[in-house]
């Protein structure tokens, strides 16, 4: 039995015990749980392929064909002609998520949900399972399976960065533990594309510099990485050494509220986009009206995704949160592409100083 012995000494308070829990293909797992006939066949949850829908998630049978989240449903069907796409049932997913988070509270109150299907837990001070983070992760996985009938994967590590990588290491239905004394060697062998924040462009840039794994980043000085990668350079320097001091954000605040719609047929020109704003703004006003807590609108924004899947987002501090203000943002955003539009999103950025009620009413 693998125990996290070094993290169990109270004389080392600086060493944290972080668990990252990630449900396996969550939406699809709930669908297969509730309808066993769906098990064993390629399944996706998402929008209708005939109406330009997008895959929200899919099971592992579908992933074997190359189907992935955020993929156009029509393209997913080309990859997997037998793919069954079912519409999402958000109420069922939220109910399962709440039940899973209730299980987390048996072990710690320091929980940072990232979405309905994943969360960080700081169990450094927890006395459950004799203080062993490994045993806590095992028990969480067992309880979720017993209570909800789905599997979760978990990663245990001294920080959030490594715990999230670890939870993906043995998916599905897996557990990976990175002990403090294993961090250096584990990170040295880690491919740079596994680092948080390293996308395809940054990974390609690193490879062009002869950097494939983190060990090859170690000779680089902070200032050299900053020169090559800007503000992200210092973060690269830290991650290549397994350093991540970010605390859990237990009381998270919303940063924005938005509404978007993908159209069955491309909106051909600017006027068609302007005509589409009114129903979106009405939904946005409704969502703002349901927002709990004290927030203040800091700026409006609009997102346009063009027919070729390129997109642009335009936001402007001080712009009026009114239909006229969004019309002006739409005109400017459309000018950046000048092509038919498949998706429009409208929203507001928030801060947390005052109530937003007075500004919200301008949308009506």
* Residues involved in catalysis: 118
H or E element that contains 47: none
Say if residue 147 carries a ligand binding annotation. Answer: no
How many helices (H) and strands (E) the chain has is answered by 14, 12
The token pair that represents 22 in the structure block:
């990630």
**Inter-residue contact 339 to 283 (CB < 8 Å):** no
Helices assigned H by DSSP within 19-150: 26-34, 60-63, 73-79, 90-104, 133-148
DSSP character string of 299-327: EEEEEEEETTS-EEEEE-TT--SSHHHHH
Q: Are strands 84-86 and 43-46 parallel, antiparallel or unpaired?
A: parallel
Rounded distance between C-alpha atoms, residue 212 and residue 169, angstroms:
18
Rounded distance between C-alpha atoms, residue 120 and residue 142, angstroms:
17
All residues at 6 or more sequence positions from 45 whose CB lies less than 8 Å from its CB, including other chains: 27, 28, 31, 55, 56, 57, 58, 85, 86, 87, 88
Say if residue 245 carries a ligand binding annotation. Answer: no
Report the binding-site residues. 22, 117
Report the binding-site residues for Mg(2+). 22, 117
């Amino acid at each position: 039995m693998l125990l996290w012995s070094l993290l169990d000494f109270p004389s080392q308070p600086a060493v944290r015990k972080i668990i990252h829990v990630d449900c396996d293909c969550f939406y699809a797992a709930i669908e297969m749980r509730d309808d066993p006939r769906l098990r064993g066949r390629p399944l996706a949850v998402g929008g209708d392929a005939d109406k330009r829908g997008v895959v929200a998630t899919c099971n592992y049978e579908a992933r074997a064909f190359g189907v992935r989240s955020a993929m156009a449903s029509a393209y997913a069907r080309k990859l997997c002609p037998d793919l069954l796409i079912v519409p999402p049932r958000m109420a069922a997913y939220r109910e399962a998520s709440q039940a899973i988070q209730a299980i987390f509270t048996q072990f710690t109150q320091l929980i940072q949900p990232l979405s309905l299907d994943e969360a960080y837990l700081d169990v450094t001070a927890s006395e459950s399972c004799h203080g062993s983070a490994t045993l806590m992760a095992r028990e969480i996985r067992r309880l979720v399976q017993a209570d909800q009938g789905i599997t979760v994967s978990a990663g245990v590590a001294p920080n959030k960065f490594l715990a999230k990588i670890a939870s993906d290491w043995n998916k599905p239905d897996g557990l990976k533990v990175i002990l403090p004394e294993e961090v250096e060697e584990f990170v040295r062998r880690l491919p740079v594309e596994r680092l948080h924040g390293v996308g395809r462009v940054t990974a390609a840039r690193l490879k062009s510099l002869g950097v494939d794994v983190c060990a090859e980043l170690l000779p680089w000085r902070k200032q050299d990485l900053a020169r090559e990668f800007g503000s992200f350079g210092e973060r690269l320097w830290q991650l290549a050494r397994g350093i991540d001091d970010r605390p859990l954000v237990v009381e998270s605040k919303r940063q924005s509220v938005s509404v978007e719609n993908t159209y069955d047929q491309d909106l051909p020109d600017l006027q068609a986009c302007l005509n589409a704003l009114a129903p979106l703004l009405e939904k946005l006003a409704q969502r703002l009206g349901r927002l709990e807590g004290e927030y203040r609108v800091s700026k409006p924004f609009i997102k346009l995704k063009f027919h070729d899947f390129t997109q642009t987002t335009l936001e402007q501090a001080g712009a009026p949160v009114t239909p006229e203000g969004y019309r002006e943002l739409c005109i400017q955003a459309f000018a950046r592409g000048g092509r038919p539009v498949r998706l429009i999103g409208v929203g507001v950025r928030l801060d947390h100083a005052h109530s937003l009620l007075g500004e919200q009413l301008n949308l009506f």
